[in-house]
């Protein structure tokens, strides 16, 4: 669960007047990519009926994805990269028509980078339930209306099963590596457990073996912030005019989430008790700089995301428990046969390092024995997106193994 845009994956900084001007105008009812919008670098794969773990059925679905590099004749050089909660398929490349942000891992993926696209064929899908080209709540259902709140409940395993169908469609029987961070790390871990014969390596970055009660509680208040927005209208807001959608609830949910993605150390060092302007926040109507910072990023988020989608994906994260129906977490982890890299951030307060150590202890094939590789960072959970040199070093170790 992270910010997933290059603008956000830099150290926190005060909001300038130029930043604020970027958000002039009313936000749309949804920031979802819609049919008819520029496709950008997306490709699309369409599939037939899909039955969820809970027994609901989508009559058909599609996944949007992007690729870099060339698939070898023997199809043995493919890497699957899985994004986090608010990310998408745009791992690298500039913002432009169809892509609201620059690639979220530009420093990691590309020619000569840790995931070298001169060597590897990289595939990055937008997850099922997402809002950037894959079927989700903002997609038109067979009756001609958006799925909205009718969209079925998804689990992490559902999303991985959909990704497996994409692999089949691309003719990739075995991934050279499956790599993911945060929610994408949940997917990567599920891949290694559910389909151990279909990947040679796995990287799990800043993800837990199961969402805890504390994490579910934090998620619940974010979802309630969306649902209590009167403009949410039970999820039926897609026909609302600009400015009349549930942007306030979605922005508030985002502000809550951001507090878990960064560490107290970074926020305190960057902002201290500074004011946003010369107007005092001590009773004179001014604001602290950190307040304006959260507002800015919350409001910007509403221009590229969708409220129903946020609910769908957060609930999928809440489903995450690799031990469910598998005899417990340790029994599930013992199924992994891929060479594994498990990475945690020492300042991560969303998914604390103890969770990554538990994953590493349970997998017999980790690079670092029974301990996760620990990155020391002031940036908290988002360190796996920001600490590019260190993350690159670890990923090179995995891909050279």
Burial class (CB in 10 A: 0-12, 13-18, 19+), 118: exposed
180, 187 Cβ separation under 8 angstroms:
yes
Q: Is 182 labeled as catalytic in the residue annotation?
A: yes
CA atoms within 13 A on the CB side of 229: 24
Helices and strands, counts by H and E, the chain: 12, 12
Question: How far apart, in Å, are the Cα atoms of 399 and each of 203, 206, 388?
Answer: 10, 18, 16
Strand 50-51 to 109-110 pairing: unpaired
Q: Which residue do the tokens 């089949």 mark? A: 168
Decide: helix, strand or coil at residue 204. strand
Residue tagged active-site, from 187, 297, 381, 394: 381
Q: Is 348 labeled as catalytic in the residue annotation?
A: yes
Q: Is 381 labeled as catalytic in the residue annotation?
A: yes
Q: Which of 64, 356, 9 is nearest to 205 (CA)?
A: 356
Alpha-carbon distance of 114 to 341, in angstroms, equals 14
Residue tagged active-site, from 6, 113, 134, 182: 182
List the structure tokens of 257.
């989430």
Q: Which letter does DSSP use for residue 378 in this model? A: S
Question: How far apart, in Å, are the Cα atoms of 85 and each of 130, 131, 231, 304, 395?
Answer: 9, 11, 23, 13, 21
CA atoms within 13 A on the CB side of 253: 32
List the structure tokens of 363.
């997998």
Residue tagged active-site, from 2, 295, 306, 348: 348
CA atoms within 13 A on the CB side of 256: 17
Question: How far apart, in Å, are the Cα atoms of 55 and each of 9, 136, 195?
Answer: 38, 17, 21
∠ CA 302-35-71, nearest 5°, is: 100
Q: Which letter does DSSP use for residue 5 in this model? A: S
117, 124 Cβ separation under 8 angstroms:
no
382, 105 Cβ separation under 8 angstroms:
no
Distance of CA 252 to the CA centre of its chain: 18
Q: Which residues are catalytic?
A: 182, 348, 381
């Amino acid at each position: 669960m992270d910010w997933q845009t290059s603008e956000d994956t830099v150290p926190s900084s005060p909001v300038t007047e130029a930043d604020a001007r970027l958000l002039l105008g009313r936000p749309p009812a949804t920031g979802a990519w819609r049919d008819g919008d520029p496709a950008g670098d997306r490709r699309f794969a369409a599939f037939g009926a899909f039955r969820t773990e809970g027994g609901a059925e989508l009559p058909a679905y599609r996944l949007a994805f992007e690729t870099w590099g060339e698939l070898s004749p023997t199809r043995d050089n493919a890497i699957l990269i899985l994004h986090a909660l608010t990310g998408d398929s745009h791992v690298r490349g500039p913002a432009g028509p169809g892509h609201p942000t620059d690639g979220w891992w530009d420093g990691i993926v590309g020619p000569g980078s840790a995931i070298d696209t001169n060597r590897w064929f990289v595939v990055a899908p937008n997850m099922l339930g997402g809002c950037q080209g894959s079927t989700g709540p903002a997609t038109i259902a067979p009756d001609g209306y958006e799925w909205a709140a009718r969209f079925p409940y998804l689990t992490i395993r559902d999303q991985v099963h959909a990704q497996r169908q994409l692999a089949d469609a691309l003719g990739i029987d075995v991934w050279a590596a499956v790599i993911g961070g945060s929610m994408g790390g949940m997917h990567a871990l599920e891949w290694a457990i559910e389909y151990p014969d279909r990947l040679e390596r796995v990287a799990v970055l800043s993800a837990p073996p199961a969402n805890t009660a504390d994490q579910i509680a934090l998620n619940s208040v974010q979802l309630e912030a969306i649902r209590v927005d009167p403009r949410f209208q039970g999820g039926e807001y897609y026909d609302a005019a600009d400015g009349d959608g549930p942007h306030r609830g979605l922005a508030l949910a985002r502000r809550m989430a951001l507090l878990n993605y960064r560490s107290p150390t970074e926020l305190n060092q960057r902002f201290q008790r500074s004011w946003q302007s010369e107007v005092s926040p001590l009773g004179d109507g001014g604001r602290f700089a950190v307040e304006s910072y959260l507002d800015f990023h919350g409001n910007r988020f509403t221009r590229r995301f969708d409220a129903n989608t946020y609910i769908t994906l957060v609930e999928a994260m809440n489903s995450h428990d690799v031990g469910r129906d598998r005899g417990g977490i340790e029994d599930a982890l013992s199924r992994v046969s891929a060479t594994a890299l498990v990475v945690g951030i020492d300042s991560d307060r969303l998914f604390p390092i103890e969770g990554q150590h538990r994953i590493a202890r349970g997998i017999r094939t980790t690079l670092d024995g029974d301990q996760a590789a620990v990155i020391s960072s002031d940036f908290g959970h988002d360190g796996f997106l920001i600490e590019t040199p260190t993350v690159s070093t670890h990923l090179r170790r995995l891909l050279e193994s």
